[in-house]
Structure 1
Amino acid sequence: MTRQNRYDLLVVGGGINGAGIARDAAGRGLSVLLCEQDDLASHTSSASTKLIHGGLRYLEYREFGLVRKALLERETLLRAAPHIMRPLRFVMPHMPNLRPAWLIRIGLFLYDHLAKRELLPGSRAIDMRRHPAGAPLADSIRHGFVYSDGWVDDARLVVLNALDAKERGATILTHTKLVSAQRANGEWHAQLQRADGSTVTVCARAIANAAGPWVGSVLHGALGADANHSVRLVKGSHIVTKRLFEHDHAYIFQNPDKRIIFAIPYEHDYTLIGTTDVAYRADPAHVAIDSDETRYLCDSINRYFKHKITPADVCWTYSGVRPLLEEEGADNPSAVTRDYRLEMDNTDAAPLLSVFGGKITTFRKLAEEASDLLCRALGSSAGAWTAGKPLPGGDIANANFESFANALAARHQWLPASLARRYAHAYGTRAERMIGDAQSLDGLGAEIVPGIHERELRYLRDAEWATCAEDVLWRRSKLGLHVTPGSLDAVTAGLDRWFATAPAAPATPAAPVEH
């Protein structure tokens, strides 16, 4: 086995937990290889409700520890990546038949005070007849509350963690599946398979199994191991409609079944509505919304809004399978904890760490705790470091995105305002790297499809692992939502054609060689 094929840590899974662990471990000096069977964030981690939040409703289940942990992370993350995250105010209309006002006030008081806030304002009661958020709602709704949480571009969060891991020395292999791994002589010998069927063998002193919905199948299949914990698969589906309201607040709606539904301003012209909680037993790779879920989400919105929606108003849907930590006695999927467990197996001096459960808000803390365990097992004394470090593009002065975006537009006045704004949001300070020496739109290269120039595609391919139209339109961005349905096939074909014919990026020197 060559030195090129030896690593301290093999991370299995390119979702938010895997990418976060790879970043943290690489920053502590471990040699890291991450393998992902598909694209980064191609499953659960790009199918969230896009929120950085403490989880107000978890207070009802007395999960105070989880809520506090998540609340502590909100502002840490907002400072780390202000280009892909932003504070967001949420409006909760009061429905006396569902929860009494005093209970809501107690919950919001706890939410405000379980963790220190510096960026986010606290909660307050509002008169819906006078607040802008009351205008779209039924006239019978007269009172409500407003509180703070955060919004995040979830798929880009994963990519930025992987990018930081790479720049700290990690090797990131997408479209590469762990086939099997065996312990031998105090280390793991792992067989990886690329999309073209070719295989490579690598050795690693430890493995982190962060395969999300596949954590159990990787454990029992590829690794031949058992665990004390397991996950319950729960499908969460979302719908997107044309914009249902003009203001910049989001809504949190209470349902008679005690679930809550969010309605969130999305991609300028749309409203994101979700999520459902449905037990799921099929292949997580092929999850999709069903008609009952669509109707449920429409009905939930229609209880509150004057303007009613139907399934015909849905522009786009997406679904993900959440791997929730299995607990005894939690029959209702909504009651299953969103906390996580890290299970370490140190058999034969070749550690195996498996991640069960978790939520996007707590990924950094999860990665920190995982790296603590792994470093201890591998004899490294390197300590935690990610709490105060920005993600790539996030080194924006005072985390003031508006000032940054205005300055970027002023430096590149030849950029259309909407394009400059999109670059600022997507890439933060890395936008200058992508723009490079261009002094005009022509300098960005050919416009392969409307709004996407060749220079951006080269950046996404060479720096962010994009390999096809779907990666660009639905994960590195949500530009697919803005393409008219009649032209989406043509746009997709044009991008795929570019990826198939454009000169390939240089090979990554640290990638394992074939055996």
Structure 2
Amino acid sequence: MISLTSNTVDIFVVGGGINGVGIAADAAGRGLSVTLCEQADLASATSSASSKLIHGGLRYLEHYEFSLVKKALAEREVLLHNAPHLVQPLRFTLPHRPHLRPGWMIRSGLFMYDHLTKRNTLPSARSFKFKLQSPLKPAIKKGYQYYDCSVDDARLVITNAILANRLGANILTRTKLINATRLEDEAVWKVTLLDQETKQEHCIFAKALVNAAGPWVSQLVTNYVNQKPAHNIRLIKGSHIVVPKFHNHEGAFILQNTDKRIVFVIPYQENFSLIGTTDKAYTGDPATVEIDSDEVQYLIDVVNEHFIAQISKDDIVKTFAGVRPLCDDESSDPSAMTRDYTLELEEDNSNIPLLSIYGGKITTYRTLAETAMNKLSPYFPNAKDSWTATSPLPGATPATRSLKDIQDIIHEAHPWLPPEIATRYSHSYGLLCLIFLGGRSSTDDMGRHFGANLYQCEVDYLIKKEWAKTVEDILWRRTKLSLVMNSSQTQALENYLSHTFHESSTPPQDLQIA
């Protein structure tokens, strides 16, 4: 562990979203000393409120964002290879309606989408006609299919944090940056931190400061570094609803509304459908963003215009919203604003760099991190070269080329594991689940059962190795079991966590984790 009182690290990262943990992992893998702070839980803001997709962004072609789409499609291939447990192919169906562009134009766009990247392991797009068993309204006769990928966004963040930590990075959750000052005589940043739980302040020194604070990127520069942000940021709210699965069609749907906005209907956690997103300017606190009634009705209306089965507000089992910090390109349409990233390196003539991350999307986090470290590498001549493009994320190995490979290994090691549990573990943890399954030969060995196949050994692992502390940390960001656990089961978990953190000075110690 890095001392907060005496040691100097090479890089200090502010922000525990996907960009922050990606940069921390990349830097640590280059042999640099790294500390990261996150004011809440990892992935607690934008990075757990996405549409859960790794995709090139088909709709970005309409806005001539060819470079972004090409870069995102290339990264889709990298993540399919490096994280097959977290990123899986997903078929998308685009119904054609009279207000859309003519068929030849859509086919041309899909052809371009398939061929913008040199390496495309997914099936090619095609056009087709809907049959009688189509879940769509009878007036919708034809459509198009193409492939992108689904992802558990929060688990992608956690997994990168695990990687960073394995490589020596110190991950400080629920720790807020309250001041950062350049000490020119020592050529370091003096970073002052507040432990949100103990209310204790600490200082750490760093040779470079990375501002990956997401929606707070400009606020950090203005309030804590006392400088003017290099770019204007517009906060755009994206909201989603989750309803029980209401059709049996394979894969996801991409629905283009008459206002030209896109709404996805995505299969989610086996028995649910995820519907989103919206694009709405936001001016409030990013930490308290919520879906509003207009957004709920908008998403419902778009779905009901397309599907035979109708949904209503009463069907909603969960909502979530996030704020995208997009570079202000002066577009009047929030959905047309660029999703590309901008990296601003500023050293104030003191050779003590500040690197701020503006914009970005979850699909391109790895190449963003690589670019960030390439910008900082002149300050660290002993740093190793780029390495993440071919390195599997924790839970996968160079030998696991697919989710099935991972599932086969889990089954071979623990054939007694019920299929529904094995499936969830393989998607969420990959081979990491072997850590908390080690030495167990039945569900009776897994400790207390909280409900919905959540056992004590998994909870203890999440506390000990994945920075989990609250019910929301566990049931939403790390497992998604809040969709199926009832109130009494949730309360039982709450009581267990309360006992663990308030009556014991240390986390559970029964896990033997290397």
TM-score (norm 1): 0.94
CA change 1:300–1:450 in 2 (3 A) is closer
- Matched with 1:74 is 76
- Matched with 2:127 is 125
Which of 17, 28, 31 is 1:29 aligned to?
31
Q: Is the 8 A contact 1:448 1:495 kept in 2?
A: no
CA change 1:501–1:417 in 2 (3 A) is farther
Instruction: Deviation per CA, 1:435-460: give whole Å up to 9, x if none.
Output: 11112223222224442222111211
- Matched with 2:220 is 218
- SS of 1:82's equivalent in the other structure is coil
Q: Is the 8 A contact 2:426 2:433 kept in 1?
A: yes
- Matched with 2:265 is 263
* Alpha-carbon distance in structure 1 between the residues aligned to 2:48 and 2:412: 32
- Matched with 1:6 is 8
Q: What's the CA shift for 1:376?
A: 1.6
Q: Is the 8 A contact 2:4 2:203 kept in 1?
A: no
- Matched with 1:513 is none
Q: Is the 8 A contact 1:23 1:161 kept in 2?
A: yes
* Alpha-carbon distance in structure 2 between the residues aligned to 1:75 and 1:369: 18
* Higher mean C-alpha displacement, 382-391 vs 392-401: 392-401
Q: Is the 8 A contact 2:39 2:174 kept in 1?
A: yes
Q: Is the 8 A contact 2:24 2:34 kept in 1?
A: yes
- SS of 1:42's equivalent in the other structure is coil
1:153 matched to 2:152? The reply is yes
Within-5 A mapping of 1:386-425: 386-395=388-397, 397-425=399-427
CA change 1:198–1:411 in 2 (3 A) is same
Q: What's the CA shift for 1:98?
A: 2.3
- Matched with 1:344 is 345
Q: What's the CA shift for 1:210?
A: 0.1
Q: What's the CA shift for 1:227?
A: 2.6
Q: What's the CA shift for 1:127?
A: 1.1
- Matched with 1:142 is 141
1:194 matched to 2:195? The reply is yes
What are the ranges of 5 or more consecutive residues in structure 2 without an aligned counterpart? 510-514
What are the ranges of 5 or more consecutive residues in structure 1 without an aligned counterpart? 508-515
* Alpha-carbon distance in structure 2 between the residues aligned to 1:259 and 1:322: 16
Q: Is the 8 A contact 2:451 2:485 kept in 1?
A: no
- SS of 1:399's equivalent in the other structure is coil
Partner amino acid for 2:94?
M
Q: What's the CA shift for 1:487?
A: 5.1
* Higher mean C-alpha displacement, 241-250 vs 483-492: 483-492
Q: Is the 8 A contact 1:22 1:32 kept in 2?
A: yes
- SS of 2:138's equivalent in the other structure is coil
Instruction: Deviation per CA, 1:476-499: give whole Å up to 9, x if none.
Output: 110111113575445444444444
- SS of 1:297's equivalent in the other structure is helix
Q: What's the CA shift for 1:407?
A: 3.9
Q: What's the CA shift for 1:400?
A: 1.9
Q: What's the CA shift for 1:303?
A: 0.8
Runs (4+) off by over 6 Å: none
- Matched with 2:335 is 334
- Matched with 1:170 is 169
Q: What's the CA shift for 1:206?
A: 0.3
Which of 480, 483, 489 is 1:481 aligned to?
483
* Higher mean C-alpha displacement, 222-231 vs 51-60: 222-231
Instruction: Deviation per CA, 1:263-302: give whole Å up to 9, x if none.
Output: 0000011000000001000000000011100000000001
* Alpha-carbon distance in structure 2 between the residues aligned to 1:239 and 1:206: 40
Which of 252, 255, 262 is 1:253 aligned to?
255
CA change 1:206–1:476 in 2 (3 A) is same
Q: What's the CA shift for 1:4?
A: 5.1
* Higher mean C-alpha displacement, 474-483 vs 439-448: 439-448
Q: What's the CA shift for 1:420?
A: 1.6
- Matched with 1:445 is 447
Q: Is the 8 A contact 1:227 1:343 kept in 2?
A: no
Q: Is the 8 A contact 1:8 1:204 kept in 2?
A: yes
* Higher mean C-alpha displacement, 424-433 vs 344-353: 424-433
Q: What's the CA shift for 1:15?
A: 0.1
1:179 matched to 2:152? The reply is no
Q: Is the 8 A contact 1:232 1:326 kept in 2?
A: yes
* Higher mean C-alpha displacement, 43-52 vs 481-490: 481-490
- SS of 2:144's equivalent in the other structure is strand
- SS of 1:318's equivalent in the other structure is strand
- Matched with 1:436 is 438
TM-score (norm 2): 0.94
Q: Is the 8 A contact 1:469 1:493 kept in 2?
A: no
- SS of 1:122's equivalent in the other structure is coil
Q: Is the 8 A contact 1:187 1:203 kept in 2?
A: yes
Q: Is the 8 A contact 1:20 1:364 kept in 2?
A: yes
1:97 matched to 2:68? The reply is no
Q: Is the 8 A contact 1:176 1:193 kept in 2?
A: yes
Which of 466, 469, 484 is 2:468 aligned to?
466
Q: What's the CA shift for 1:430?
A: 1.5
- SS of 2:338's equivalent in the other structure is coil
* Alpha-carbon distance in structure 2 between the residues aligned to 1:443 and 1:490: 19
Q: Is the 8 A contact 1:396 1:428 kept in 2?
A: no
- SS of 1:391's equivalent in the other structure is coil
- SS of 1:373's equivalent in the other structure is helix
CA change 1:501–1:470 in 2 (3 A) is farther
Q: Is the 8 A contact 2:32 2:383 kept in 1?
A: no
CA change 1:76–1:170 in 2 (3 A) is same
Q: What's the CA shift for 1:401?
A: 1.1
- Matched with 2:290 is 288
Equivalent residues, number? 503
CA change 1:162–1:407 in 2 (3 A) is closer
* Higher mean C-alpha displacement, 268-277 vs 478-487: 478-487
* Alpha-carbon distance in structure 2 between the residues aligned to 1:306 and 1:485: 33
Q: Is the 8 A contact 2:396 2:406 kept in 1?
A: no
Q: What's the CA shift for 1:35?
A: 0.3
Q: Is the 8 A contact 1:469 1:496 kept in 2?
A: no
- SS of 1:397's equivalent in the other structure is coil
* Alpha-carbon distance in structure 2 between the residues aligned to 1:303 and 1:193: 50
Q: What's the CA shift for 1:383?
A: 1.4
- Matched with 1:512 is none
Q: What's the CA shift for 1:2?
A: 8.2
Q: Is the 8 A contact 1:396 1:404 kept in 2?
A: no
* Alpha-carbon distance in structure 2 between the residues aligned to 1:326 and 1:30: 33
* Alpha-carbon distance in structure 1 between the residues aligned to 2:104 and 2:391: 40
Quote the RMSD (CA, aligned, Å): 1.8
- Matched with 2:512 is none
- Matched with 1:357 is 359
CA change 1:2–1:333 in 2 (3 A) is closer
- SS of 2:317's equivalent in the other structure is strand
* Alpha-carbon distance in structure 2 between the residues aligned to 1:341 and 1:441: 49
